[in-house]
Amino acid sequence: MKMKYIKRVASIVIAGTLIFMSGNMVAAVGTGETPLSDSQLQRIKTNCLDAQSTLSQLHVSDALLRVNRGQLYESIANKLMAPLNSRIVFSGFSAEKLISDTTSYNKHLASFRANYLAYGTAMDDIAKLDCQAQPEQFYRSVADVRHKRNRVYDEVKALKAGVAQYKTDVTDFANDFKATAQ
């Protein structure tokens, strides 16, 4: 009876750990893609080591960019937008537009983090590929990484637009405040 209980608990713990870890693994399956020509496959095999080196350098420079620019974007939200919004609300004024802008900005910031995570993980995976043995897999992985980097860029553009929009609305608030004060 006791043995049965121990076996049951052990199997539940092991199964739980395996399920948790497998949830983080993603299997990429390419379906319906145009097959590459022999000349292109040969060109990939010839140049892929240089391409992998370029990708590796890009990954390093993008990681630095992510840290430095990520700090800037987060500081704008936490050290400028949020304090002004709360100060306006506590002073008895309406900050609805500014709060809406801040919420939208924070959503794009969360997407930026998530998209960069996907991009960074894909870059880590591509470095482990034997590109000369698997040129077609390498090519598809580069296309995937390109797509993921573009998604990060889309969020960067949205964040920049959010920064500009907030500035516009603060200027409008300041003008209304001035008009009310006079």
Per DSSP, the residues of 7-35 read HHHHHHHHHHHHHHHHTT-------SPPP
Residue 132 Cβ vs other proteins, minimum distance, rounded to whole Å: 12
| Cα–Cα distance measured from residue 21 to residue 78, given in angstroms and rounded to the nearest whole number | 33
User: How many positions of this chain bind other proteins (CB under 8 A)?
Assistant: 78
Does the footprint of other proteins cover residue 3 (CB under 8 A)?
yes
**What is the C-alpha separation between 168 and 123, in angstroms, rounded?**
37
Instruction: Please return the burial class of 81, using the count of CB atoms within 10 Å of its CB with bins 0-12, 13-18 and 19+.
Output: buried
Q: How far is the CB of 31 from other proteins (least distance, A)?
A: 21
Per-residue contact flags (x/-) with other proteins for residues 90 to 129, judged by CB under 8 A: xx-x-------------------xx-xx--xx--x-----
Q: x/- string (CB under 8 A) for other proteins, residues 142-171?
A: x--xx--x--xx--x--xx--xx-xx--xx
Smallest distance, Å, CB 173 to other proteins? 8
83 binds other proteins (CB under 8 A): yes
- Map the footprint of other proteins across residues 18-77, applying CB under 8 A: 20-21, 24, 36-37, 39-40, 43-44, 47-48, 50-51, 54-56, 58, 60-73, 75-76
Nearer to other proteins, 43 or 97 (CB): 43
Q: Which one among 8, 11, 79, 107 touches other proteins, defined by CB under 8 A?
A: 79
Q: Closer to other proteins at the Cβ: 97 or 113?
A: 113
We find the least distance from the C-beta atom of residue 47 to other proteins, in angstroms, to be: 4
Residue whose token pair is 């920064």 = 163
